[in-house]
Amino acid sequence: MTTGASWDLSGLFRLDGRRAVVVGAGSGIGQAIALGLAAHGADVTCADRDLAGAQATVGLGAEVTGPGWGGLTAYQLDVLDGAAVTRAVDELGAVDVLVVTPAVNVRKRLLDYTGEEFDRVVALNLRAAFELMTGFGRGMAARGRGSIIGCSSIRSLTTEPGQGVYAMTKAGLVMLLRTLAAELGTSGVRVNAIAPGVIDTPLTAPIKNNADWYAAYGAKSILGRWGRPHELAGAAVYLASDAASYVTGTVLFVDGGWTAIDGRFDPPA
């Protein structure tokens, strides 16, 4: 039996020598994750449809970089363009970590949804994720190693009026990731999801702009506030690193306790 004394735990979270691609790295959660991976030694490709946003992330890294940092490079990628995704898989070569964050939400009740709006949400949140994860996953499986991380949501478990199609795609993404975990596990590839709560990003700007809605969402979590993008970085570093070497097919909720409690009322007892 191996004893704790023989384990080297000092570098569990280090990502030195690993190549990561963070899709959606031009802003919000993707930007924070890209910087977090680089801070732990990974060489990170910041992929985004908005090349200027990806370059801005690289610039932020240049401002704060220090000992132990990896590198950051910008790469323009429209994930709705299947040919562009195929080209990215070829051009970016051997990738050890893939993080997929882009999503869109058309906030409408289901009876008001159009077919075009439905297709728009599914195309980005689910179809593009499928193409990215299977595309890069093939190379990881062939090399016998890798970590794929998708960005789900608390909406994979809980919904509300106006969130239906978004919630469908986030629940579907969890099953996509779990199936990939089952199919790629014997090839040494781990596949997991991060499920954020309400995070202050461009995607949630319509909520933040409504004072009552903003306050209600903040009060729902155990911590009584919205999350910040950088609070997702640690989860991604963990799942990408050897600290999570026995973790696959799971969902890590980073939601301030949103999904742990009812939240409607604080009882007297």
State yes or no: pLDDT of 1 exceeds 50: no
Name which residue leads in pLDDT, 8 or 154: 154
Domain carrying residue 147: 14-260
| Global model pTM greater than 0.85 | yes
The CA radius of gyration of the chain, in Å to the nearest whole number, is 19
DSSP conformation class of 241: S
Residue 265 domain-assigned (yes or no) = no
* 233, part of any domain: yes
Q: Indicate the number of domains in the chain.
A: 1
- Mean pLDDT of all residues in 57-73: 94
Q: Is the residue at 219 inside a domain?
A: yes
Q: Which helix (H) or strand (E) holds 73?
A: strand 72-76
Question: Would the pLDDT of 248 be above 60?
Answer: yes
Residue 3 maps to a domain: no
Closest alpha carbon to 38 in 52, 54, 253: 54
CA distances from 164 to 14, 107, 170, 258 (A): 38, 8, 10, 18
pLDDT digits (tens, 9 = 90+) for 187-202: 999 999 999 999 988 7
Q: 128-132, 217-221, 250-254 — which is least confidently predicted?
A: 217-221
The average confidence (pLDDT) of the chain is 94
Asked if residue 205 belongs to a domain, the reply is yes
In a domain, residue 92? The reply is yes
Considering the domain boundaries, does residue 174 fall inside one?
yes
- 113-159 per-position pLDDT tens digit: 999 999 999 999 999 999 999 999 999 999 999 999 999 999 999 99
* Long-range contacts formed by 259-267: CB under 8 A, 24+ apart: 259/154, 259/157, 259/158, 259/195, 259/197, 260/222, 261/222, 263/219, 263/220, 263/221
Instruction: Report if residue 6 sits inside a domain.
Output: no
Q: What is the pLDDT of residue 215?
A: 87
Residue 5's pLDDT band (boundaries 50, 70, 90)? low
Running DSSP on this structure, what letter comes out for residue 236?
H
**How confident is the model at residue 259, as a pLDDT?**
93
| Contact between 189 and 148 (Cβ < 8 Å) | yes
What is the CA angle 151-66-59, rounded to 5?
60
Closest by CA position to 165, among listed 216, 218, 118 = 118
What percentage of the chain carries pLDDT values higher than 70? 97
Q: Residue 219: what pLDDT?
A: 87
Residue 90: give its domain's CATH number.
Answer: 3.40.50.720
**pLDDT surpassing 50 at residue 218:** yes
**Comparing 172 with 206, which gets the higher pLDDT?**
172
Catalytic residue positions? 166
